[in-house]
Structure 1
Amino acid sequence: MLNPRSYPLHQESDRLKVGEFVVDLPRREVVSVSQAEPVRLTVKAMHVLLALVGQHGKVVSREALLEWVWPDTLPTDDVLTQAIGQLRKAFADDRDAPRYLETISKGGYRLLAPVQWLDAGTVEAAAPIVQIAPPAIAGGTPVRSTTTGRKPARSRLVPVVIAVACLAVAGAWYYLRGDSSEVATKTVAAAKADAAPESLAFTTITSRPGRETNPSLSPDGALVAYEQMDEENYGRIMLQASAHVPARALTNPPPGHSDVMPVWSHDGRRLAFVRYDQSSHCRIMTVASSGGNERAIADCFGGGASTYDWTPDDSGLLMGTVVKPASEPSSPLRLLDIASGKWRTFDYAISNGDIDLDPRYSPDGQWIVFRRNISLSDLWKMPASGGKPQRLTSIRSDIRGWDWLPDGSGLIFSYIGSATFMHRYDMASGRITPLEMSEVALTPDIARASPSMVFTVDRSMAGIFRVSLTESKDGQPVRERVFDSSRSDMLPAISPDNRMLAFLSDRGSRQALWIGELDKPDAAREIESFMPVPRHNPVWSEDSRKLLVIGKPATQQVLYEVDAESGRAEALPVPASSPIYAAYTDDPKRLLVGADSGEGRLRVVLYDRSVSPWRELASLEDVALVKYDAAHRQVYFTRMSKPGLWRTDMQLGGAEVVDAFRPRVPSEYKRWSIGPDGVYFLDWNEGCATGWIKMGEPRSRSPLCLERKIESWPLGPSLDRSGKYLYVTMDVSNSSDIGLADLSAMTSGTAAATTAKR
């Protein structure tokens, strides 16, 4: 009998010529010059075709085809008959005079037409890249990507969730990058036709209170490992079958230690994970999949860990680091040799200032796809041996996990930017299709040899809290929620006159800007004229009459100026496309605006807006966020490429370091606010989950502890002009589970079979 584990099909490219027809495997389409429109095959019909291709010219019995295409089930003969009928229709074949599929009485079927794998390189070069437009994005640290030098707390996921849960940006828009040919035009039309979301059903396989997150599937999809966080936010690795059944602890961290980020080896015998101790020291560990035999391999490179993958031969781990070493111009991927415990830099082309993260090897081991840069990130592809990377996406977004489909035909990734949150990328065409799901889905992980995917289902909510920095109760500053609601509120901005609070919320069933007077807690009102991007806090003018807010009416982000009293919003004609943040200066004719300077790196520009078009007066590269100190006429800013806070003058010249230590990592670049006597930072340590400290203080000085157990979100806080009250985003509820989805409809499984044989 034809057994797929004994006779796997070797897929040489994504296009197969059968007679006069061409079969596009990733799209499951059969096309011919004689047909006006392609014929789309079902997944099972495609699998039947591939089985016949693998045994070309030979008779393949019905029993063998049922075993190959419908393994471990009890299908009727009708399902195979229907699949053969669909193939005949696609190839315009006649059953009585076949040229393609011959029926052998009481024997089975035989593929008659000649077959040829079309050159993959030619196909790839001919296919223009169609991308999704820049989306609305939210801040915070990327999940499974930026574990810093501390015990991993729930804030690794929480900031994502509020932003995601609040978003209601409609649809996804596609555009073509630099190709106006007829072929490109046709591809764009096809991409638009496919832009409608695909529905993806799933089940949750965990339901404990608290947080289960960052799941990883075994190669065969039978087992899932994940992090389980306790009440003190310490993690351990749990293991269970990929069903709603009891789990068991796979690792046993010592008291005060936290185990996170499990990843299965290709042979399924081991898992790697990351362990943090009480001093935030980070080590790479391995453990047998059967449990026990925990082994330390090496210290984390640079003191922190990010998402990683095993090399195809299971001899090493490939990882990026979120903090660029001060002595290096960029932060490339690093390779850890498990036998020696030594790190080395992976050899490939990388530009100065780039930070590369989240590498994943393709199922056949021939390619590596990774995420380039932190906040305005995209996915890139390069040969597994290194070389020059090729950009795949152009979304410039906050990517929250991704993985390969098991046949290598595409990727599933999650990012903040549309109402669907999870997307499928097609390697052949470059098309991105939203996946419609009933809940927030992040950090996807797909089995290497099975069409199964697990991910984090996050159900957390947050609110805005006012913390008194001068009053305390039971040894802690007094804290109260402002503008209380049953929905999620975030990104507060207190007006300079300390009278009004602007914030973002989905309390009106869509993401919107809200403004309320603090002495009228039930009178907050929605600004309905545009939809804001939940990334940065609104910015008030000095007279407390207007705000600067980034919105996204269509395919590009826009800077709006909002009149606080009337609610009218005016789109400002910023010369830079898709501005990311903005700030007023003491001159109403001059604005500071941050935008993408290329390849995901940011710069800030000082514009004179009294002329048309706006005139650029000064600029500064590598500026993640800028804020203006009106009292002292100074500009403060943070960077993605290195820790610290800088100060410069109004002309953006003569920058000097204010604090070389805080923020520590790129994910903390928003956690600061300007006070009457300097700049303050939302700090943390092992004894205090949320602290408040003046920047520039010695590293040894402890912050004022605002909350011992609950960590604030790494979004921008807002300090009032008196320095007495701080407004910050914090948890209201905090939970997440593991979801499981079947991807059979998206993958042919051929590369997975090859991987399984190896």
Structure 2
Amino acid sequence: MQTVDNSKPEADRLNIGACVVLLSSREVHGPNARKVQRLTPKSLGVLLALARRAGQVVTRDELFADVWPDTMPTNDVLTQAVTQLRKVFAAADGGDDSTPYIETIAKTGYRLLAPVVWDDVDTTGATMEGSEIAAEAAPRSDAASTISTKPARELRRRLRRHVLLAVGLVLLTSTVVMAWLLWGRMSPEAPTDEVDASGTRVVGSPARPYRLITSNAAFETNPTLSPDGALVVFAKEAEGRSTLWIQSTGSTPPVALVATPADASDRFPVWSPDGRQIAFARFLPHAGCEVLLVSATGGDARRATRCDGTDMLSFSWSTDGRSLLFGSMTGAYASRGIRTLELASGRWSSLSYEMGADDSDYAPQYSPDGSRIGFVRNPQVGDLWVMDADGGNAKWLTNDAAEIRGWSWLHSDEIVFGRRVDSESRLYRLDVATRTLRDMGVDDARNPTVSRHGGNLAFMRDRPQFGLFRVPLKEGAGQRVRLFASSGRDSQPMVSPDGSQLAFTSDRSGTFALWWGRLAEPDSLRVVEGLRPEARQPMDWSGDARSLLVSGRDADGLPGIYEVMPEDGRWKKLAVPVREPLQAIYGGTPGTLLVVERGDEERMSLTLFDRTQTPWKRLASLEGVSQARLDRAGDRVLFTRLGSSGLWQVKPDLAAGSILPVNKEVPTRWRYRTWAVTGNGTVGYMSIGAGCASQFSVIVGDGASRCLDTDKFSSGNGMSLAPDGSAAFIALGIAEGADIGVMRVPKRAPRSVLGVGKWLPWLEKPLS
């Protein structure tokens, strides 16, 4: 069968709508652009695939085959590329989405809507089509010269066909040879140990890619591996405090690394590059904090620096072991950006690099070769970033405002990290150059760490089961009651303003979904079909308790806001005119909505919309907001900030002059989602206290405090309070525990070389 390629030859300039794309530099120029936009290589590849078939639907499989040949990328990779294209064209063509460029075809693919014009490859008419057009447009007197060019064209066509045929034969021959080699290397089938009635072999469960080296009832967290991968140090959380332990990556019992004072907790161990020392943080009473160094063989610890009052402490070693690299800090030793501490002199040095006024950079780490620094920007809604070791060339690697749960360098150009997906955290590996993301097949995992030389990877494996509870908040008001019991993970219980209904998220049906039921009628419980909720932000009930706003994702993984009528099981996606909505609450007046969004340059803000107009009209905006709740009794909006701890208030119209602090200390930036408002304006807050796993405090009201459970931790992604403040609706861990897992670092996927790179490991050939 002959294949006819009728696509337009690609020039360096591609006109799409009102924008011009320069392919060689990956730049996008537009009439209203404030600055030149630049695409990633993969985003440009997706754009070219769509442009070649402009106006036609291009399936996701076709795009994967064109742009990611010989790899197995996740849907997130394609979604991220399309998201960047939409963002770039919107910025170049006016800064909004009023002129759509790329249309999503649900469950199928994408279509480029804007007109496409390819500039001529050669203005002298060197292309085949250009020559023919020029010949047809030539005057009759030039007919002889036109005829004389035909033999040359025919010769070029025949030559091209012969070249293509030769290349095809070479590829076919190489494929046959490789298949023969693989067939010859295949081992004979193993003898059948057991068979079922039909003669089919019975095999056991597939082997896990890891093994657990701890398995007791305590919480083992924050592992760090020695450079040779033979030893691991971790923190053990038990009886309201944390201590450090060291053991081999085998199954030998652990021993205490250092003596921890009875009133202190030791956390966040980090092994030095030479394997001789371990740095860690010691948290003391009354917000005291210090970073200490101890020999890997144990003994007395010495202080490197103080860190009093910080709520987001992070640090790692430099590649030469002479200094520590710190992320943003709060408290008495606050610093907005990343800086280094020289251990010998105690001198601090701040890195000079670009960051926003509300940005906080967490968990910085040098790459193994020392040339770059990776970090998480704004870990509450975080993305991975990388920059040169001197602070230059900072750029994002991920762009989905995910919950990043620990990360480490695999190699100098590859990263492993934990990321929350629905109700669990999974491990992913990320190619820094291509931004290709791959699921590692390890679920319920977080805080990965990689040995510098030993090829081992350790992580914290956490498999909690959360149940929903109604807990009375006054002494003598009765016992707590479990609600809608199941064997799944239930979270984000949101009680309705009338106190009769409860909405929550759960994986109890096997998939993560939104559930609803009447508290007095357990049999009313039902799932809201077809809606994929998000676990990052709480839902919000309307004042009449008939509907609620839920953040979620569509079939393409793009974030959106959904209005749900739970009793009927109906829902609709709202036309919120923002690029990345994260949370929505009903406004103080009918027809208004308040939306927490992440806009250009990943800035967070709270925006008030009039939804009665089409498109929605922006009425006001407030930057730096991470979460918001409406206090109807107090006629105010309460909110937390991305860049600092505390609670703030503003009028429902977001008038700038009405912003006031409510509590300057809590909620902390880490626990910005564990607070709620009652019908009378009281604000409750869930935290971890001394000797109390789930501590409830009234931070706006009478200041009362009560330990709801000494051992069981509450979920950190949402709670609610009864309208009269008599009870808290929380998700408590009913089957908890965290262990340390160890595995070999998986071999990296080979990059394609003429489509055969994926076979090279089987043939035991070294990769260049």
Query: TM-score by structure 2 length?
Result: 0.69
2:252 to 221, 245, 252: 245
Give the deviation of 1:322 after TM superposition: 5.5
2:430 to 425, 442, 454: 425
The answer on whether the counterparts of 1:127 and 1:428 sit within 8 Å (CA) in structure 2 is: no
Alpha-carbon displacement from aligned partner over 1:577-611 (angstroms, at most 9, x marks no partner): 23111111243311111110334331111111112
Give the deviation of 1:747 after TM superposition: 8.4
1:196 maps to none
Q: How does 1:343-354 map to 2 (within 5 A)?
A: 343-354=348-359
The answer on whether the counterparts of 1:489 and 1:729 sit within 8 Å (CA) in structure 2 is: yes
Give the deviation of 1:561 after TM superposition: 0.7
Alpha-carbon displacement from aligned partner over 1:33-64 (angstroms, at most 9, x marks no partner): xxxxxxxxxxxxxxxxxxxxxxxxxxxxxxxx
1:669 maps to 672
2:407 to 402, 417, 424: 402
Percent pairwise identity = 33
- SS of structure 2 residue aligned to 1:588: coil
1:333 maps to 338
Mean Cα deviation higher: 300-309 or 311-320: 300-309
2:612 maps to 610
Give the deviation of 1:324 after TM superposition: 8.2
- SS of structure 2 residue aligned to 1:745: coil
Q: How does 1:448-487 map to 2 (within 5 A)?
A: 448-472=452-476, 478-487=479-488
2:498 maps to 497
**Hey, what's the Cα distance between the residues in 1 that align with 2:645 and 2:519?**
35
Structure-2 change in CA distance of 1:576 and 1:326 (3 Å): farther
Alpha-carbon displacement from aligned partner over 1:65-115 (angstroms, at most 9, x marks no partner): xxxxxxxxxxxxxxxxxxxxxxxxxxxxxxxxxxxxxxxxxxxxxxxxxxx
**Hey, what's the Cα distance between the residues in 2 that align with 1:305 and 1:643?**
10
Amino acid at match of 2:732: M
Amino acid at match of 1:258: S
**Hey, what's the Cα distance between the residues in 2 that align with 1:210 and 1:693?**
26
**What RMSD over aligned residues (CA atoms) do the two structures have, in Å?**
3.0
- SS of structure 2 residue aligned to 1:746: coil
Give the deviation of 1:390 after TM superposition: 2.2
Amino acid at match of 2:529: E
Give the deviation of 1:492 after TM superposition: 0.8
Alpha-carbon displacement from aligned partner over 1:231-264 (angstroms, at most 9, x marks no partner): x131111111112222111121011211111111
Amino acid at match of 2:534: V
**Hey, what's the Cα distance between the residues in 1 that align with 2:219 and 2:467?**
19
Structure-2 change in CA distance of 1:666 and 1:129 (3 Å): farther
1:320 maps to 327
Q: How does 1:151-300 map to 2 (within 5 A)?
A: 172-174=76-78, 175-176=80-81, 177-178=84-85, 201-230=209-238, 232-300=239-307
Structure-2 change in CA distance of 1:207 and 1:516 (3 Å): same
| More contact order relative to length (CA 8 Å, sep ≥ 6) | 1
Structure-2 change in CA distance of 1:126 and 1:521 (3 Å): closer
Structure 1, unmatched stretches of 5+, are 1-124, 134-169, 182-191, 194-198, 749-758
**Hey, what's the Cα distance between the residues in 2 that align with 1:585 and 1:272?**
48
Structure-2 change in CA distance of 1:665 and 1:325 (3 Å): farther
The answer on whether the counterparts of 1:282 and 1:305 sit within 8 Å (CA) in structure 2 is: no
The answer on whether the counterparts of 1:399 and 1:415 sit within 8 Å (CA) in structure 2 is: yes
Structure-2 change in CA distance of 1:450 and 1:126 (3 Å): farther
Structure-2 change in CA distance of 1:127 and 1:609 (3 Å): closer
- SS of structure 2 residue aligned to 1:472: coil
Structure-2 change in CA distance of 1:317 and 1:126 (3 Å): same
Amino acid at match of 2:606: V
- SS of structure 2 residue aligned to 1:693: strand
Structure-2 change in CA distance of 1:130 and 1:436 (3 Å): farther
The answer on whether the counterparts of 1:377 and 1:397 sit within 8 Å (CA) in structure 2 is: yes
Amino acid at match of 1:450: G
1:108 maps to none
**Hey, what's the Cα distance between the residues in 1 that align with 2:216 and 2:667?**
33
**For the pair shown, which has the larger CA radius of gyration, 1 or 2?**
2
Structure 2 residue 696 is the aligned partner of structure 1 residue 692: yes
2:378 to 362, 373, 382: 373
Mean Cα deviation higher: 202-211 or 298-307: 298-307
- SS of structure 2 residue aligned to 1:521: strand
Structure 2, unmatched stretches of 5+, are 1-37, 47-73, 90-107, 110-206, 751-768
- SS of structure 1 residue aligned to 2:682: strand
Amino acid at match of 1:499: S
Amino acid at match of 2:384: L
**Hey, what's the Cα distance between the residues in 2 that align with 1:693 and 1:126?**
48
Give the deviation of 1:498 after TM superposition: 1.0
The answer on whether the counterparts of 1:646 and 1:655 sit within 8 Å (CA) in structure 2 is: no
**Hey, what's the Cα distance between the residues in 1 that align with 2:325 and 2:235?**
20
Structure-2 change in CA distance of 1:210 and 1:705 (3 Å): closer
The answer on whether the counterparts of 1:268 and 1:289 sit within 8 Å (CA) in structure 2 is: yes
Amino acid at match of 1:290: T
Structure 2 residue 587 is the aligned partner of structure 1 residue 585: yes
Query: TM-score by structure 1 length?
Result: 0.70
Amino acid at match of 2:723: R
Give the deviation of 1:687 after TM superposition: 5.2
- SS of structure 1 residue aligned to 2:379: coil
2:369 to 364, 376, 384: 364
1:643 to 642, 645, 650: 645
- SS of structure 2 residue aligned to 1:287: strand
Alpha-carbon displacement from aligned partner over 1:355-374 (angstroms, at most 9, x marks no partner): 11111111111111111112
